[in-house]
Chains A and B, each alone.
Chain A
Amino acid sequence: MDLILPDYGLLFWTALVFCLLLFLLAKFAWKPILNAVNARGQKIHEALELADKTRAEMLMLQAENEKILKEARAERDAIMNDAKETATGMVEAAKNKAKEEANKIVESAKAIIASEKDAAIRDLKNQLAGFSLDIAEKIVRTELTSDSKQKELAEKLADDINMN
Chain B
Amino acid sequence: MTFAKLFTQVVFILFLVLIPSKFSAQKATSINAKQATAVDAVEEEFDVNEMIMHHVKDAHEWHLWGSEHEGVSLHLPVILYDNGFQVFNASHFYHGLKVVDKDEKTGEKLSYLLGEGPAEGYALFHEKIYRLSQGKMHFEDGHPHNAMPLDLSITKNVTSLFIGAFLLILIMFSMARFYKKNGAIAPKGIAKFLEPLVLLVQDDIAIANIGEHKYRKYVPYLLTAFFFILLNNLLGMVPILPGGANLTGNISVTLFLALFTLLITVFSGNKNYWRHIFATPGVPIPILIIMVPIEIIGIFTKPIALMIRLFANVTAGHIIILALISLIFINKSIAWSALSVPMALFISILELLVAFLQAYLFTMLSALFIGAAVEEAHH
CB distance from A16 to the nearest CB of B (A): 9
Which residue on B lies nearest to A15, using beta carbons?
Answer: B256
Asked if A43 is at the interface (CB within 8 A of a chain B CB), the reply is yes
* Chain A residues near B256 (CB-CB < 8 A): 11, 14-15, 18
Known: A2-B57, A33-B198, A36-B183. A8 touches B151 (CB 8 A): yes
Q: Which residue of B58, B79, B179, B252 contacts A37 across the interface (Cβ within 8 Å)? A: B179
Asked if A5 is at the interface (CB within 8 A of a chain B CB), the reply is yes
Complex Cα spacing A25 to B219, Å = 11
Q: Which one, B63-71, B165-173, B278-286, B362-370, is touching chain A? A: B165-173
* Chain A residues near B152 (CB-CB < 8 A): 8-9, 12-13
Which residue on A lies nearest to B249, using beta carbons?
Answer: A3
Q: Which one, B32-40, B84-92, B220-228, B345-353, is touching chain A? A: B220-228
* Chain A residues near B228 (CB-CB < 8 A): 18, 21
Most chain B CB within 10 A, of A3, A12, A17, A29, is at A29
**What is the predominant secondary structure among interface residues of chain A facing chain B?**
helix
B172 A14 Cβ-Cβ under 8 A = no
Complex Cα spacing A33 to B171, Å = 12
Q: Which one, B23-31, B104-112, B155-163, B323-331, is touching chain A? A: B155-163
Asked if B176 is at the interface (CB within 8 A of a chain A CB), the reply is yes
B179 A7 Cβ-Cβ under 8 A = no
A28 B3 Cβ-Cβ under 8 A = yes
Complex Cα spacing A6 to B183, Å = 44
Complex Cα spacing A24 to B176, Å = 12
Asked if A163 is at the interface (CB within 8 A of a chain B CB), the reply is no
B180 A34 Cβ-Cβ under 8 A = no
Complex Cα spacing A6 to B251, Å = 6
Asked if A161 is at the interface (CB within 8 A of a chain B CB), the reply is no
**Residues 12-67 (chain A) with a chain B CB within 8 angstroms:** 12-15, 17-18, 20-22, 24-26, 28-37, 39-40, 43
- 1/0 per position for B173-196, CB-CB distance to A under 8 A? 101100110011110000100010
Known: A18-B260, A30-B223. A2 touches B126 (CB 8 A): yes
* Chain B residues near A9 (CB-CB < 8 A): 79, 150-153, 155, 158
Asked if B128 is at the interface (CB within 8 A of a chain A CB), the reply is yes
A6 B252 Cβ-Cβ under 8 A = yes
Asked if B257 is at the interface (CB within 8 A of a chain A CB), the reply is yes
- 1/0 per position for B197-240, CB-CB distance to A under 8 A? 01100100000000000000001110110011000000000000
A33 B251 Cβ-Cβ under 8 A = no
CB distance from B5 to the nearest CB of A (A): 12
B184 A40 Cβ-Cβ under 8 A = yes
Complex Cα spacing A25 to B186, Å = 22
CB distance from A31 to the nearest CB of B (A): 8
* Chain B residues near A25 (CB-CB < 8 A): 168-169, 172, 220, 223-224, 227
* Chain A residues near B227 (CB-CB < 8 A): 25
B252 A29 Cβ-Cβ under 8 A = no
A37 B165 Cβ-Cβ under 8 A = no
A3 B158 Cβ-Cβ under 8 A = no
* Chain B residues near A37 (CB-CB < 8 A): 179, 184, 195, 198-199
Asked if B320 is at the interface (CB within 8 A of a chain A CB), the reply is no
Complex Cα spacing A32 to B252, Å = 32
CB distance from A102 to the nearest CB of B (A): 89
Q: Besides the contacts A14-B252, A30-B223, A37-B179, what 7 more A-B pairs have beta carbons closer than 8 Å?
A: A6-B251, A6-B255, A18-B260, A29-B176, A31-B220, A32-B180, A33-B195
Chain A positions near chain B (C-beta within 8 angstroms): 2-15, 17-18, 20-22, 24-26, 28-37, 39-40, 43
A-B contact pairs, 21 of them (CB 8 A): A2-B128, A6-B255, A7-B151, A7-B250, A10-B155, A10-B161, A17-B161, A17-B165, A18-B228, A22-B220, A22-B221, A25-B227, A26-B220, A28-B176, A29-B169, A33-B172, A33-B195, A35-B179, A36-B183, A37-B184, A40-B185
